[in-house]
Structure 1
Amino acid sequence: MTKVDLDIPRPPDQVFAALADGWSYAGWVVGATHIRDVDHGWPEVGTRIHHSVGAWPFQLEDQTVVRSVEPGRSLELHAKAWPMGTALIRFDLVPSASGGTRVTMTEKAATGPGSLLPEAVQTVLLAPRNRETLKRLADLVVRGDQR
């Protein structure tokens, strides 16, 4: 499983608020290019973000489904981008002594071609993307706090 961490200088409830805004995902999730719809009640278990992945005109339309959620603490997703496959993605939020949040993002290819790769290879491919995803999330949280 690929694991990356980042400290965000805001409390967990503010970080979770960004995770709970399904319409913002294309702004910080690397690869997501358009949010077509967000189910009412997001991020309750079973709700979905309907998204596009990739650059036009080569976009794939699929969805991401909430598998589990603990508001302010964690969010686990099942992301789909068929025919590339699916991935299990989890965000864990831990308060830091400074008042910020340590965000840990883990991802593992669940189905499709990526799931056939050894975990070490998945990590080499996914870690840079996921580090950038967390940096974008941090920018969104910090900018949103300054409005």
Structure 2
Amino acid sequence: MSEVSRVVDVPPDAVFAVLADGWSYASWVVGSSHIRDVDEDWPAVGSRIHHSVGPWPLHIQDVTVVKAVEPGVSLSLEARGWPLGAAAVEVTLLPRGEAKTEVRMRESVVRGPGKVLPEAVQALVAKPRNTEALARLADLATGKYTDRKGTQR
């Protein structure tokens, strides 16, 4: 399992607001290139984001499914991209002082060809990708929070 973390200068609810907006998924998830549809009840357990993975014209159409959710605290997903496989992704939000959040992202391959690779090799791919994903998530959360507070950027 690969884990990365980042402290963001907004409260957990501001970060979760981005996670709860399924249409923003491709803006922060590295590798997701297009959102085709988002279930109306996203991010309820069992709801899906229908997305494309990879660059056009080689993209794969698949889904990401919510496995567990605790609003403002955590979101657990199964991100699919067949024939490459599927990964369990856990995003946890931890309050860190006033208006700060430590965002932790854990990922492990659960199905497909990547499952046979040693965890250290999986981490070589997952860690840099997820570090960038958290940077994008932080930017989105900070921007939305700043706009909501009415502060000039």
- With normalisation by structure 2, the TM-score equals 0.94
CA–CA distance in 2 between the matches of 1:99 and 1:42?
25
CA drift at 1:78: 0.5
CA–CA distance in 2 between the matches of 1:28 and 1:41?
20
Q: How does 1:68-147 map to 2 (within 5 A)?
A: 68-147=68-147
Aligned length: 147
Identity %: 54
Is the 2:14–2:144 Cα contact (8 Å) retained in structure 1?
Answer: no
CA drift at 1:121: 1.0
Deviation per CA, 1:105-129: give whole Å up to 9, x if none.
Answer: 0000111111111111111111000
User: Is it true that 1:20 corresponds to 2:20 in the alignment?
Assistant: yes
CA drift at 1:99: 2.4
The residue aligned with 2:9 is 9
CA–CA distance in 2 between the matches of 1:54 and 1:125?
14
My pick for the range that moved more, 97-106 or 62-71, is 97-106
CA drift at 1:7: 0.4
Unaligned runs of 5+ in 1: none
Is the 2:11–2:98 Cα contact (8 Å) retained in structure 1?
Answer: no
In structure 2, the residue corresponding to 1:146 is in which secondary structure? helix
My pick for the range that moved more, 97-106 or 86-95, is 97-106
RMSD of aligned residue pairs (Cα, Å)? 0.7
Task: Extract structure 1 runs of 4+ deviating beyond 3 A.
Answer: none
CA drift at 1:145: 2.0
CA–CA distance in 2 between the matches of 1:82 and 1:123?
19
In structure 2, the residue corresponding to 1:26 is in which secondary structure? helix
CA–CA distance in 1 between the matches of 2:26 and 2:83?
20
- With normalisation by structure 1, the TM-score equals 0.98
In structure 1, the residue corresponding to 2:51 is in which secondary structure? strand
In structure 1, the residue corresponding to 2:131 is in which secondary structure? helix
Whichever residue aligns with residue 64 of structure 2, its letter is T
